[in-house]
Amino acid sequence: MAPPAHVPAGLTWLIGPVPLPVSVAIGLPICVGWHAAGMAGLLWGLVPALFSGVLPHLLDRWVKGHRPEAEPGSGKPTVLVVGSAASLICGLIIIVAYAAPRPVIACAAGLFAILIAVAIASQWRSPTGERVGWNVSVHAATSAGAAAICWVEFGVAAGLLAGILATAVALSRVLVRSLTRGQDGHTGVEALIGALVGAAVCGLIYLLLR
């Protein structure tokens, strides 16, 4: 989406379509796999990177190319949520069936749990069919979940650094909303909910399965 005319030219980079969630979904399993089992773990990390990151991103690009412009805050398209979930499940089945290192499995499961939690929060509907859920920030949820995994897998220093970056990501989503006058980004509450959900769900799943 092109930035509106009132946004200063020097700040337009802030509201570009940066694929941060997919970057985390691709890079995090690879880093976790390498840290857990060296080169073999890195190769195993490529599997969830493909099914958790690359394929959902391609689906997202396809949906955006074929779906009319949505109303602000309308939530994630159902086809995107379902398709992404199916891709993540396939990836999980492969790495579990072939006994990938447990941290890789735990990382993939944590990313899957974030998707499910965000989908429930965003797609919840009343008995009359009206959407009543929050348009939870996937950026905030994914970055906070990654911070939780970094804290457990790589130590306190890495966790603190990732937490600072996750906070910056959440704040940037709020700034984007302000700059675009509600056409993109998220409210402070939506970003906060995303961060809390991502950190709690992903962190707990990772701790239980690692």
Sign, CA torsion 23/168/208/42: positive
Does the pLDDT of residue 201 top 70, yes or no? yes
Write out the two tokens for 136: 């939870």
Residue range 121-130: mean pLDDT, rounded = 60
Average confidence (pLDDT) over 157-182? 88
Residue 11 is predicted with a pLDDT of 43
Give the mean pLDDT of 4-11: 46
Is the pLDDT at 69 greater than 70? The verdict is no
- Helix 55-66 × helix 20-48 angle, to 10°: 140
Question: Would the pTM count as exceeding 0.85?
Answer: no
How many angstroms separate the CA atoms of 5 and 56, rounded? 31
Retrieve residue 32's tokens: 């976790």
What average pLDDT does the segment 156-184 reach? 87
